[in-house]
Amino acid sequence: MIRIGILGGAGYTAGELIRLLLHHPEAQLVFVNSESNAGNLLTDVHEGLYGDTDMRFTSEMPFDAVDVVFFCFGHGKSEAFLREHHIPATVKIIDLAQDFRLAASKPYDSTQPYTPDNHDFVYGLPEINRQRIAAARHVANPGCFATCIQLGLLPAAHMQLIDNDVMVNAITGSTGAGVKPGATTHFSWRTDNLSVYKAFRHQHVPEIRQSLKQEQASFSAAIDFIPYRGNFARGIFATEVLRTQAQADAIVEGYKAFYAHEPFTHYVDKPLDMKQVVNTNKALVHCDVIEGKLLVTACIDNLLKGAVGQAVQNMNLMFGISETTGLGLKPSAF
């Protein structure tokens, strides 16, 4: 059994992670840390877990009792945590924040004090880094928008097709903003509403560029990304447009070949809808070529393939068990 600890256990991602791990046949959840909820039942916060567990949050962090720890902190807090705490080199780390997603400048030496440019986190997108993840001690889980957008564009990059600017529009559910209430997550504002935020400046763009360049070394085009807040709880639906002279049949065959052996990412011949992926670790991709423009559509569940589902997928790889273990989830299609 893989012994597991969770830090930052009160948020949406932690709640979904606990749900997956409680039903994972190779997982033993040892502790869920939350300073603000220490002593409370997990079900006091994550009410969807009634009947599944009687565990309580703890302020303790018994790293010597676990094999892997998941960081479910807000962005910027993982790096700060590692500055202040020592995690034994024998304990693997999967970080769900953005702190370590960009490539390190030099290898990490766990015998030396942590510094921001001295880490060995592997970028945890299995579709392009599977072997590196399997050998990793520390994995930086990709962002939700980044996962969806990359999976839509990586086959095109692999075919060396991205030689001009890419226009991306993507809409996400309210859970993407986290559990802490805010003006733009309030029901009366979000319902029957739509809005743009962080246009052309979203924090996930650098990791998208990093992965595309991994597949297409010559990639230097702009990614003009406009994110939208949706009036639904979970899911991401993205459209990506670039100019191309390639033929539609060749592009589709290239996409199918790129994902032919992937357990969770699939090319679909028909137009997509988001309910096909909600509550699963799947990513679905579809292409159309219209008058010299390639239109790629991609969708995921932002909390699963965009966060903890992919994190569990990475954990499975890191511990040498079947990649799909604990992730056989049915979509909420109706």
Give residues with Cβ within 8 angstroms of 124, minimum separation 6.
94, 133, 139, 140, 141, 142, 310, 311, 314
* Count of beta carbons in the 10 Å neighbourhood of residue 165: 12
325 with 139: CB under 8 angstroms? no
User: Which of the residues are catalytic?
Assistant: 144
Location of structure tokens 């807090």: 77
Q: What is the 3-state secondary structure (H, E, C) of 209-273?
A: HHHHHHHCCCCCCCEEEEEEECCCCCCEEEEEEEECCCCHHHHHHHHHHHCCCCCCEEECCCCCC
Q: Helix 12-22 vs helix 309-318: angle between axes, to the nearest 10 degrees?
A: 50
Location of structure tokens 């256990």: 9
Q: Which residues share a beta bridge with 168?
A: 225, 240
The DSSP element (H or E) to which 132 belongs, if any, is: helix 126-134
Query: What region, left, alpha or beta, does residue 61 occupy, with left being phi > 0 and alpha being psi -120 to 50 degrees?
Result: beta
Q: Is 61 exposed, middle or buried (0-12, 13-18, 19+ CB in 10 A)?
A: middle
Question: Rounded CA gap, 272 and 251, in Å?
Answer: 17
277 with 284: CB under 8 angstroms? yes
Question: Rounded CA gap, 182 and 111, in Å?
Answer: 41
CA-based nearest residue to 171, from 224, 225, 230: 230
